[in-house]
Structure 1
Amino acid sequence: MRRAIVVRGGWSGHAPVAATDRFVPLLRARGFTVEVHSTLDVYTDGDRLADTDLIVQCWSIGQISAEQLAGLDLAVRAGTGFAGWHGGIVGSFLDIGYQHLTGGLFVHHPHGFVTHTLTVRPQQAAHPVVAGVDRVTLHTEKYWVLTDPLNDVLAEVTFDADEDTPWRRPVTVPAVWVRRWGSGRVFVSTVGHRVADLDVPEIRTITERGLLWAAR
Structure 2
Amino acid sequence: MKALIVRGGWDGHQPVACTELFRDFLKNHGFAVQTAETLDVYADQSVLADTDLIVQCWTRGRLTPEQETGLVDRVRAGAGFAGWHGGVLAVGYEAADYQYMVGGRFLNHPGGLIDYRVDITGDDPITAGLTSFDVHTEQYWCHLDPTLNVLATTTFTGAHGAPETAGAVMPVAWTRQFGAGRVFVSTLGHSPADLELPPTRTLTERGLLWAATGRS
Superimposed CA distance per residue, residues 57-105 of structure 1 (whole angstroms, 9 cap, x where no aligned partner):
0000111100000000000000000000000011111122211010000
Match of 1:52 in 2: 51
Superimposed CA distance per residue, residues 136-192 of structure 1 (whole angstroms, 9 cap, x where no aligned partner):
110011100111022100101111125953416411110000001100000000001
Residue number among 193, 209, 213 corresponding to 1:212 in the alignment: 209
Cα RMSD after superposing both structures:
1.3
Count of residue correspondences = 212
Match of 2:70 in 1: 71
The amino acid of 1:173's aligned partner reads M
Distance 1:163 1:72 in 2: 37
Match of 2:155 in 1: 158
Instruction: Specify every segment of 5 or more residues in structure 1 that has no aligned partner in the other structure, as ranges.
Output: none
* 1:112 to 2:112 alignment: yes
Moved over 4 A (4+): none
Distance 1:128 1:55, change over 3 A: same
2:73 is paired with a residue of what secondary structure? helix
Distance 1:15 1:163 in 2: 25
2:83 is paired with a residue of what secondary structure? strand
User: In the TM superposition, what is the alpha-carbon distance from 1:51 to its structure 2 partner?
Assistant: 0.4
Distance 1:199 1:168, change over 3 A: closer
> Taking structure 2 as the reference length, what is the TM-score of the superposition?
0.95
* 1:190 to 2:172 alignment: no
* 1:172 to 2:169 alignment: yes
Q: Percent identity?
A: 49
Instruction: Specify every segment of 5 or more residues in structure 2 that has no aligned partner in the other structure, as ranges.
Output: none
* 1:181 to 2:178 alignment: yes
2:158 is paired with a residue of what secondary structure? coil
The answer (yes or no) to whether the contact 1:50–1:78 under 8 Å persists in 2 is no
User: In the TM superposition, what is the alpha-carbon distance from 1:46 to its structure 2 partner?
Assistant: 1.8
Distance 1:168 1:139 in 2: 18
* 1:28 to 2:27 alignment: yes
User: In the TM superposition, what is the alpha-carbon distance from 1:203 to its structure 2 partner?
Assistant: 0.3
User: In the TM superposition, what is the alpha-carbon distance from 1:47 to its structure 2 partner?
Assistant: 3.4
The amino acid of 1:137's aligned partner reads D
1:64 is paired with a residue of what secondary structure? coil
Distance 2:43 2:161 in 1: 47
User: In the TM superposition, what is the alpha-carbon distance from 1:56 to its structure 2 partner?
Assistant: 0.2
Q: Give runs of aligned pairs for residues 126-165 of structure 1, distance below 5 A.
A: 127-161=124-158, 164-165=161-162
Distance 1:163 1:61 in 2: 24
The amino acid of 2:50's aligned partner reads D
1:51 is paired with a residue of what secondary structure? coil
User: In the TM superposition, what is the alpha-carbon distance from 1:50 to its structure 2 partner?
Assistant: 1.9
The answer (yes or no) to whether the contact 2:110–2:160 under 8 Å persists in 1 is no
Match of 2:40 in 1: 41
The answer (yes or no) to whether the contact 1:156–1:174 under 8 Å persists in 2 is yes
User: In the TM superposition, what is the alpha-carbon distance from 1:41 to its structure 2 partner?
Assistant: 1.0
The answer (yes or no) to whether the contact 2:118–2:152 under 8 Å persists in 1 is yes
